């Protein structure tokens, strides 16, 4: 049994490890070279590496950082004020740089009041701290905060995705080598296909690779196309079995694993749901998913939201 999560063990430790397009690579490498950081908003889809980049940037600049989850404690003005003030007032231990960085993850889920309070904190700590906000929907950030930040969009064209996919492919080969897991030529082709189908949702791919490596190790065999296909389909098939059989333990396990991979769920239901559900039941499941998809980016606890969605599907679509 693995005692680590691949995505955490191999989280980028530097800008050079991050999967970015040429434009963003140049921008952040220049920023590190100049040792000049401003407050920023990283905006883009779930799982593209926004938070990992923020942390890697701080590491490269040798700057202390504090991470706050905007979906939870970030919705409380008192919690933000207490943590930011304590962090800003503490003497920096970083070498040659007194600046610190506050990373607000999922900042678009903060309330308007909390965002307005954040504006005041930015003004009060301007000589001590910079702020990096990660968002999926920048329009949910109040204008007063946007105006104080450099807004960086993680939106990529086909050329970007081709370049990034190759870089990520090589990184996954490195991960396999580090984990002492062989991969066959056919497995490499399947891996490239998997990356192409899911880019730029790199966190989702890393979650799949965790299971791929675990299964290969348990089976004492190299990664091949069969293992990759099994992992890509098996989670969904097991979920559908669990929904049909009201297996709450597996459903909860699936939720914990895929809480940030809503696109994975939507994609699988859309393409393979008909093999499990008849026409009316399939249509109802799609409507339920569409409804919960709207809520997923704004609720304070995404696990509860996703679990509630599956309970609805289980009760209404499986007889």
pLDDT of residue 2: 46
Instruction: Transcribe 300-316 into DSSP letters.
Output: S-HHHHHHHHHHHHHHH
As beta bridge partners, residue 134 has 42
CATH number of 233-319: 1.20.272.10
Same fold yes or no, 22-153 and 233-319: no
pTM of the model: 0.72
3 pLDDT band, cuts 50/70/90, is very low
pLDDT tens per residue across span 189-216: 989 988 887 888 888 788 888 878 888 8
pLDDT > 80? residue 126: yes
Contact 131, 102 (CB under 8 A): yes
* Alpha helices for the chain (secondary structure H): 6-9, 22-34, 50-61, 77-89, 112-124, 143-146, 158-178, 185-198, 202-219, 225-245, 248-258, 262-272, 279-296, 302-317
pLDDT digits (tens, 9 = 90+) for 241-287: 899 888 888 888 888 877 766 766 776 777 677 778 888 888 888 89
* pLDDT at 90 exceeding the cut of 80: no
The conformation of residue 91, written as its DSSP 8-state character, comes to P
Question: What percentage of the chain reaches a pLDDT higher than 90?
Answer: 36
Q: Which fold has domain 22-153?
A: Rossmann fold (3.40.50)
Average pLDDT over residues 277-304: 83
Residue spans per domain, the chain: 22-153, 233-319
């Amino acid at each position: 049994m693995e005692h680590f999560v691949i995505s955490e063990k191999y989280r980028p430790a530097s800008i050079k490890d991050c999967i970015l397009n040429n434009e963003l690579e140049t921008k952040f490498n220049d920023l590190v070279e100049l040792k000049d950081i401003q407050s920023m908003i990283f905006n883009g889809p779930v799982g593209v590496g926004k938070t990992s980049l923020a942390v890697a940037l701080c590491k490269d600049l040798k700057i202390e950082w504090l991470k706050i989850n905007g979906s939870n404690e970030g919705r409380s003005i008192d919690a933000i004020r207490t943590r930011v003030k304590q962090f800003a007032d503490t003497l920096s231990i970083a070498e040659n740089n007194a600046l610190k960085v506050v990373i607000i993850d999922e900042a678009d889920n903060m309330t308007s009041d909390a965002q307005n309070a954040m504006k005041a904190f930015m003004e009060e700590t301007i000589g001590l701290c910079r702020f990096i906000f990660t968002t999926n929907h920048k329009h949910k950030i109040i204008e007063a905060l946007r105006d104080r930040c450099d807004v960086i969009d993680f939106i990529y064209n086909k050329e970007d995705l081709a370049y990034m996919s190759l870089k990520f492919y090589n990184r996954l080969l490195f991960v396999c080598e580090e984990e002492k897991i062989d991969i066959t030529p056919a497995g490499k082709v399947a891996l490239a296909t998997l990356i192409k189908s899911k880019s730029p949702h790199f966190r989702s791919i890393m979650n799949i690779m965790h299971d791929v490596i675990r299964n290969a190790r348990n089976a004492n065999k190299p990664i091949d196309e069969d293992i990759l296909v099994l992992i890509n389909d098996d989670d969904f098939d097991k979920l559908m079995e669990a929904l049909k059989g009201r297996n709450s333990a597996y459903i909860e396990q699936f939720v914990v694993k895929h809480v940030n991979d809503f696109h994975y769920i939507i994609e699988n239901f859309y393409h393979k749901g008909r093999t499990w559900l008849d026409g009316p039941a399939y249509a109802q499941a799609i409507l339920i998913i569409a409804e919960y998809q709207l809520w997923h980016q704004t609720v304070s606890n995404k696990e509860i939201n996703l679990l509630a969605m599956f309970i609805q599907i289980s009760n209404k679509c499986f007889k």
